Amino acid sequence: MIALRSAVLSHIPLRARMPFRYGIATMTEVTHIFLRLEFDFAGRTETGLAADHLPPKWFTKDPNRALHEEVDEMLAVIRAAVGHARAIRAATPFAFWRELYTAQAAWGAAQKIPPLLAQFGTSLVERALLDAFCRARGVTLATALHGNILGLDLGTLHPSLAGTTAHDWLPASPPTEVFARHTVGLSDPITDEEIPADERVTDGLPQSLVACIRFYGLSHFKLKINGDAPRDHARLARMAGVFARECRGGYAYSLDGNESFHEVAAFADYVRDLQAGVGDAAFWSRLLFIEQPWHRDVALTPAIGALARAWPNRPPIIIDESDAELTSLPTALNLGYAGTSHKNCKGIFKGVANACLLARRRAVGLPAMLSGEDLSNVGPVALLQDLAAAATLGVTSIERNGHHYFAGLSQFPASVQAHILEHHGDLYTRSAAGWPRLDVRDGRLQIGSVLAAPFGYEGELDLSGLESVVV
């Protein structure tokens, strides 16, 4: 039986190298946490790690709440999940997760905490559990899924998958190279010339879109829009020109609406106006999909299905923040969406089940899209586990922006920096200033070391320099 024996929560404040404006928020600093859990696997103990930012204004999108209140609520969600996990005894990691998910859902409902936020706590325990289990068994995440040693029962999550396993749907071998889909935030400068002198960053990394393309060789992009049509028109037209000039080998991009639209039909009109206003056929032909344009209050309502029927030539549209529950993706597909995103903060087992459901749809010729999206993820754990999971699910274009808005691992202890350079030299390189930075080359990331690790990161990380508390 699997049992949780101890839990330690560590944190470090991180300051952004430049502001990141997304939706209703602008990130300039954030708390980054690590959850270290020790599990007993039928007499053998092993420790696993999970990590993530605590990003205000993403899980709830409430403009009226103070930032510190939202951070406190995220910490409460994590502590609740750990508390529920202490009471569980289960035969497999999947069975453990199912009990935890159910307990956390009931607690969240009683506390009036939205499912997306409540299950964030579950996902951290789940990630640490998978890390510990894979270390105890000496296997990778991909091997554990393909061999079904995690006990995953797909049919209990999506009935149409009954009788199948992850091995039937996931790629036989995860890709060891993926595109880094570069985020262009709502306030990001497009050229160096438009950066005010007092806002220029001097850490050796690029700041403007043009500089990033040249420095990293980028060819995949995620462009933020917010429904301000004149502003969006102007920025997209400028970026279309930049991509045509700078990305000689071709490019692709997604648009992210960050729940900016509360009126369902208004978004269709907005897109038509946008396509007319940015009258570049080559640009629109490279659109991959549009992510979560509608606010979660309306995104999964019947009005979306009605619009889909009236708008047959719409671009592919996927959900992100609305993917809050196990039934969210099937509901979205029935309404006409093309798919969903994967983020580890929404859950690994849930993401695997979603990937399998979408693969089943593709097998019968139906539209089915799984993207990899970010929350400004950084190493030494969160980014690597996210890459390992997304690649195992077969995602090859993964939004990456943590390395753009944060200066690599410069704010982490020297021992952590050295560890990552030693064990993940394909993914990280030493910056001119000496600290590790993500090594994006030709717009791609090499993740062989990430996939070879039990779950994302290799070895034992020394987090003793961080402020910690037993939970």
Q: What is the mean pLDDT of the chain?
A: 95
Confidence at residue 107, expressed as pLDDT on a 0 to 100 scale? 98
Q: How far apart are CA 290 and CA 315, in angstroms?
A: 7
CATH 3.20.20.120 domain range(s) in the chain:
166-457
DSSP 384-427: HHHHHHHHHTT--EEEE-HHHHS-TTTTS-HHHHHHHHHH-TTT
Residues with Cβ within 8 Å of residue 456, at least 6 apart in sequence? 131, 141, 381, 384, 385, 386, 387, 388, 389, 450
For residue range 366-390, list pLDDT tens digits in order.
Answer: 999 999 998 899 999 999 999 999 9
Confidence at residue 279, expressed as pLDDT on a 0 to 100 scale? 79
Which single residue is written with the structure tokens 């859990």?
A: 37
AA letter at 339: G
CB-neighbour burial class of residue 148 (10 A; exposed 0-12, middle 13-18, buried 19+): middle
Confidence at residue 64, expressed as pLDDT on a 0 to 100 scale? 78
Contact 407, 380 (CB under 8 A): no
Relative to beta strand 339-342, strand 428-430 is unpaired
DSSP 144-200: HHHTTTT---GGGT-GGGTT--GGGTS-SS--SEEEEEEEE-TT--SSGGGS-GGG-
Cα-based distances in Å from 284 to 116, 118, 197, 315, 373: 32, 37, 34, 10, 21
Confidence at residue 461, expressed as pLDDT on a 0 to 100 scale? 96
Element (H, E) at 372: strand 369-372
Upper half-sphere CA count for residue 378 (Cβ side, 13 Å): 28
Residue 338 Cα to chain centre, angstroms: 18
The percentage of the chain sitting over the pLDDT mark of 90, rounded to a whole number, equals 90
Cα-based distances in Å from 173 to 145, 150, 307, 450: 12, 18, 38, 13
Phi-psi region of 41 (alpha: psi -120 to 50; beta: other; left: phi over 0): beta
Confidence at residue 56, expressed as pLDDT on a 0 to 100 scale? 80
What pTM did the predictor assign? Answer: 0.96
Which single residue is written with the structure tokens 């004149």?
A: 230
Q: Is the dihedral of CA 123, 124, 126, 130 positive or negative?
A: positive
- CA-based nearest residue to 89, from 41, 23, 144: 41
Q: How far apart are CA 237 and CA 424, in angstroms?
A: 38
Upper half-sphere CA count for residue 424 (Cβ side, 13 Å): 35
The tokens for 106 are 């009931």
Across 244-286, the runs of DSSP E, i.e. the strands, are 252-256
Across 42-175, the runs of DSSP E, i.e. the strands, are 44-54
Say whether the peptide bond before residue 93 is cis (omega within 30 degrees of 0).
no
Q: How far apart are CA 64 and CA 75, in angstroms?
A: 19
Confidence at residue 21, expressed as pLDDT on a 0 to 100 scale? 77
The tokens for 33 are 């946490």
Confidence at residue 471, expressed as pLDDT on a 0 to 100 scale? 87
- CA-based nearest residue to 117, from 108, 125, 127: 108
Confidence at residue 59, expressed as pLDDT on a 0 to 100 scale? 82
**Which DSSP state fits 315?**
P
CATH (one of 3.40.50.300, 1.10.10.60, 3.20.20.120, 3.30.70.600) for 166-457: 3.20.20.120
Q: Which CATH superfamily is domain 2-157 in?
A: Enolase-like, N-terminal domain (3.30.390.10)
CATH 3.30.390.10 domain range(s) in the chain:
2-157
Q: What's phi and psi for 312, nearest 5 deg?
A: -70, -25
Which single residue is written with the structure tokens 């470090």?
A: 12
Residues of the chain with pLDDT under 50: none
Confidence at residue 62, expressed as pLDDT on a 0 to 100 scale? 76
Q: How far apart are CA 237 and CA 332, in angstroms?
A: 31
Confidence at residue 57, expressed as pLDDT on a 0 to 100 scale? 79
How many residues in the chain? 471
The percentage of the chain sitting over the pLDDT mark of 70, rounded to a whole number, equals 100
